[in-house]
Amino acid sequence: MIITRYLVWETIKNQLIILFILLFIFFFQKLIKTLSSLEGGEIAINTILTILGLGMPKMAQLILPLSLFLSILITFGRLCTDSEITVMQACGLGHSSLIKSAMILIAFTTLVSILNNGWIEPWSTNYENGILQKIRSNPGSAMLWPKKFQKLENGQVTLFIEERTGNQLKNIFLAKLRKKDNTLPYVIIAKNGKISEYNHNSSITTLTQGTCFQGHPVLHNFRITSFKNYQLILTHDQSVTKKYNVDQINLNTLWMTSSSSPVRRSELHWRLTLIFSVLVMGLMAVPLGIANPQKSRIPSILIAIFLYLIFFLLQSLMHSASNQNRMNPALSMWIINFSYLTVSILSNTWNTLLVRRLRAWLFHQGDL
């Protein structure tokens, strides 16, 4: 139908604009968070962009229902202000036409949400964590942190670098204080240094113009050596990806193993709630977006935002409590879901003939 296509097209244009704006905002928030977690390091720009790109599916978990909610609210509100909905009603098109166009968008957004929450987001989270762990545990291939004490070789070696420019290092402090095999503890101080990748898990570090203090404090057999060049191989910790983190488990596996732990059960119902919220918020936005063109839209917009925030705040609290096994997510989360769904259905059918007759019967006002 032409009217339905028109409503869908107007709404989806606004949804894409809102989605782009929200992703843009959360993109920079993710950028700041990523750079702060890797403070002081020098990372290739393509690695940073990869990390940010892999974070997009996680951002979309909450942005998808929000973008649909706001797009329906804004589009239908504009149509009311321009009296287009009044004209549609005068032509015999009722509230069902608005519901039909909204349901088309809800179905499409729900499909995207299922794919994102079920498979795309777990895969991207797993891949992103792998990159971050590799960066943090393998300085030879990614970075050495300046102005920060670092543990290498499974905590056996402590390294501090005051400045780093590319592979050039300045003012290096290196200490290995635990005796291992026949190697005595040592402390090395050098003015300059250079690091080059040796293989995937270790790197050659060449120090220049420094001093090596070697010995054991109990035995008092110290040896002090000044050097022009000192070369050593630093072994970096192996990166280990947490394969069983609930954020990295797809929906199928989570469904099959949800009974094994409270955290998995809570994560399953949280993801199902995120999918279900698309339907709830989409239906709730329809009556809230329709307002009398002669009245201010501010109250309805404030009510809509308030209901949206209360929904996700309550669900976040239930999710957190369920992770700690203090609540049953199958009960607590879905009571909220179906309560909001009931409110959405009632608000959309409040002025239908059947509901008006039911209200008249309940309040003894006679038949309409």
The predicted-structure confidence for 291-344, as pLDDT tens digits, reads as follows 776 777 788 888 899 999 999 999 999 999 999 999 999 999 999 999 999 999
C-alpha angle 111-116-122 in degrees, rounded to nearest 5: 150
3-state secondary structure 44-109: CHHHHHHHHHHCHHHHHHHHHHHHHHHHHHHHHHHHHHCCHHHHHHHCCCCHHHHHHHHHHHHHHH
Q: 144 lies in a domain?
A: no
**199: its two tokens:** 């293989």
Please tell me whether residues 224 and 106 are part of one structural domain. no
Predicted confidence at residue 138, as pLDDT, reads 55
3-state secondary structure the chain: CHHHHHHHHHHHHHHHHHHHHHHHHHHHHHHHHHHHHCCCCCCCHHHHHHHHHHCHHHHHHHHHHHHHHHHHHHHHHHHHHCCHHHHHHHCCCCHHHHHHHHHHHHHHHHHHHHHHHHHHHHHHHHHHHHHHHHHHHCCCCCCCCECCCEEECCCCEEEEEEEEECCEEEEEEEEECCCECCECCEEEEEEEEEEEEEECCEEEEEEEEEEEEECCCCCCCCEEEEEEEEEEEEECCCCCCCCCCHHHCCHHHHHHHHHHCHHHHHHHHHHHHHHHHHHHHHHHHHHHHCCCCCCCCHHHHHHHHHHHHHHHHHHHHHHHHHHCCCCCHHHHHHHHHHHHHHHHHHHHHCCCHHHHHHHHHHCCCCCC
Please tell me whether residues 182 and 88 are part of one structural domain. no
Predicted confidence at residue 41, as pLDDT, reads 52
Q: 21 lies in a domain?
A: yes
Please tell me whether residues 316 and 194 are part of one structural domain. no
Residue that finishes a domain, picked among 206, 235, 264: 235
Q: 250 lies in a domain?
A: no
Q: 248 lies in a domain?
A: no
**114: its two tokens:** 């299922």
Q: 65 lies in a domain?
A: yes
Q: 243 lies in a domain?
A: no
Q: 345 lies in a domain?
A: yes
Residue that finishes a domain, picked among 201, 235, 269: 235
Please tell me whether residues 286 and 353 are part of one structural domain. yes
Predicted confidence at residue 367, as pLDDT, reads 47
Q: 146 lies in a domain?
A: no
- The CA distance from 113 to 207, in Å, is 53
Predicted confidence at residue 361, as pLDDT, reads 82
Please tell me whether residues 132 and 272 are part of one structural domain. yes
How many other C-beta atoms can be found within 10 angstroms of the C-beta atom of residue 66? 18
Please tell me whether residues 25 and 79 are part of one structural domain. yes
Please tell me whether residues 223 and 273 are part of one structural domain. no
Residue-wise pLDDT tens digits, 6-60: 999 999 999 999 999 999 998 888 888 777 666 555 566 788 888 889 999 999 9
Please tell me whether residues 19 and 95 are part of one structural domain. yes
Q: Domain containing 49: what range?
A: 1-136+256-365
Please tell me whether residues 213 and 87 are part of one structural domain. no
Residues of the chain with pLDDT under 50: 139, 141, 240-241, 366-368
Number of domains in the chain: 2
Please tell me whether residues 2 and 130 are part of one structural domain. yes
Please tell me whether residues 324 and 293 are part of one structural domain. yes
Please tell me whether residues 167 and 275 are part of one structural domain. no
